[in-house]
Structure 1
Amino acid sequence: MDEIFSIFIKEVGVPVYRQEVPPSSLDYYRDKLPEQLLKYWVEHGWCGYGDGIFWTVNPREYEGVVEAWIEGSALEARDKYHLIARSAFGDLYLWGENSGFSVTIDSLVSRYSGEDVDFSLGGMDREVENFFLSVDKESNDFGDLFEPAKKKLGQLKFDEMYGFVPALALGGPVALANVEKVKAVEHLILLSQISPLEPYSFSDF
């Protein structure tokens, strides 16, 4: 394990629910995603970290999610995006084929932050390392509800997330009583249909 990933695991937590990455997926993404990310996939698979607060995922399983969120938004014409990771509460980390790790979507409130990445400090592989170094538990823990939700509902499986019912965009409160375990793909697509995706005020685009 390289130093970058060791730091990431120390910060976020040990892996759970590891899925091996098939050779067909490596072949499919070889010209779409950086080689360093594929190396991490081979070594570590797709899995959750920190009891499931953060997940690396199979992008193909989330193609419909990405399409549902960016269709009609300012992101649609900027790049070809792939979802490479998500949080327990539906923060979506998108990798642009030309722009690297440049977009994070907060699905609970239908907002995104976009960053113009400066590749003068290194190429796409370096950007992959920077991405994993940037991940921390606090920013993936919505309202400090992860531990209470895990205690109440149990640990998430690889295809699950914690969602609010009713959704926050429909006026639901940020309260543990309204948190439920839901299927990640289906719930994320549902959230995308409630309100249009808009940038945060601090977003670069």
Structure 2
Amino acid sequence: MKLSREAAEYIEDFGAPQLHVAFAKEEMHQLAGKFPEELIAFMSAFGRAVFQDGQIQICHPDDQNSVLTLIFGGDETFSHQNCHAYAYSAFGEIFCWHRDYGLTIVDIIAGSVTCRLLTKNLSRDANTDRTFITPFGTDADFYDVNDKPLFKRAVKKLGSLQIGECYGFVPALALGGSPELQYLKRLRSPEHFAIVAQTNDFNLVDVEGYGVSKVVRKIG
């Protein structure tokens, strides 16, 4: 399958992944029906992959299934069966595709789930399927207690992230940790995300503008 125009432009602007490993044949079969064709083409081209020096990684949906199960619980709209992870950021935003509502972003540290088509009550159209590229090329950094970005300093201190890894605070922020470089570690993302997910209550959030959002309802 050919990359969409948006995906090709992303590669042109930001470069190919620094690391990537192809999905196994059976893993490829599992993508069908979970994602739009443009997203499947993007995932198929690289498999599990590290982009932007590790700020963003492509994952297989199975990699984060257990995390989403913990977060969604018995929710009326979201479940690990209709909302599947395809990428995540170095600090814990999981980018998913919902069968009915498209791009969905789960922020495990903030305890938020954002899904624009759902909260804005927008109709699904052909262009919506291309919003999967939104997380790529955006600022996926995390800011410390002094409001200074952490990513480059984390790379310098801890080394670049490998496939399946993330940067995580130990102890987790909800357990008394502090957003400072000295508390960051390189960790396996599924295990760390699952730990953090269990420390937070999650809410569906409507983003009304830059830095302005409101809670719609509790998730689960």
User: How big is the shift at 1:10?
Assistant: 4.6
User: How big is the shift at 1:92?
Assistant: 0.8
Cα deviations by residue, 1:57-94 (Å, 9 ceiling, x for unpaired): 01112111110111155654697110111000010111
**What is the aligned counterpart of 2:11 among 9, 26, 44?**
9
Cα deviations by residue, 1:87-126 (Å, 9 ceiling, x for unpaired): 000101111112211x21111122222222644541xxx4
Higher mean alpha-carbon deviation, 78-87 vs 145-154, is at 78-87
In the alignment, the residues of structure 1 paired with residue 161 and residue 7 of structure 2 have an alpha-carbon distance, to the nearest angstrom, of 22
Is contact 1:114-1:203 (8 Å) kept? no
Provide TM-score, normalisation by structure 2: 0.80
Alignment of 1:101-112 (within 5 A): 101=103, 103-112=104-113
Is contact 2:35-2:99 (8 Å) kept? yes
Provide TM-score, normalisation by structure 1: 0.85
Name the count of aligned residue pairs: 200
Go from structure 1 to structure 2 and tell me whether the alpha carbon gap of 1:58 and 1:141 turns closer, same or farther (over 3 Å shift): same
Q: Could you tell me which residue of structure 1 aligns to residue 157 of structure 2?
A: 152
Go from structure 1 to structure 2 and tell me whether the alpha carbon gap of 1:180 and 1:119 turns closer, same or farther (over 3 Å shift): same
Is contact 2:84-2:97 (8 Å) kept? yes
In the alignment, the residues of structure 2 paired with residue 21 and residue 172 of structure 1 have an alpha-carbon distance, to the nearest angstrom, of 35
The structure richer in helix per residue is 1
Higher mean alpha-carbon deviation, 107-116 vs 145-154, is at 107-116
Alignment of 1:1-205 (within 5 A): 2-73=4-75, 75-76=77-78, 80-101=82-103, 103-116=104-117, 118-122=122-126, 126-133=127-134, 135-138=136-139, 140-143=140-143, 144-200=149-205, 201-202=213-214
Could you list the runs of 5+ residues in structure 2 that have no partner in the other structure?
A: 144-148, 206-212
Is contact 2:113-2:202 (8 Å) kept? yes
Q: Which secondary structure does the structure 2 equivalent of 1:98 belong to?
A: coil
In the alignment, the residues of structure 2 paired with residue 129 and residue 166 of structure 1 have an alpha-carbon distance, to the nearest angstrom, of 37
Same amino acid, percent of matched pairs = 25
Aligned partner letter, 1:197: F
Is contact 2:86-2:96 (8 Å) kept? yes
Aligned partner letter, 1:196: D
**RMSD over aligned Cα, in angstroms?**
2.4
In the alignment, the residues of structure 2 paired with residue 141 and residue 59 of structure 1 have an alpha-carbon distance, to the nearest angstrom, of 23
Is contact 1:53-1:137 (8 Å) kept? no
Aligned partner letter, 2:39: L
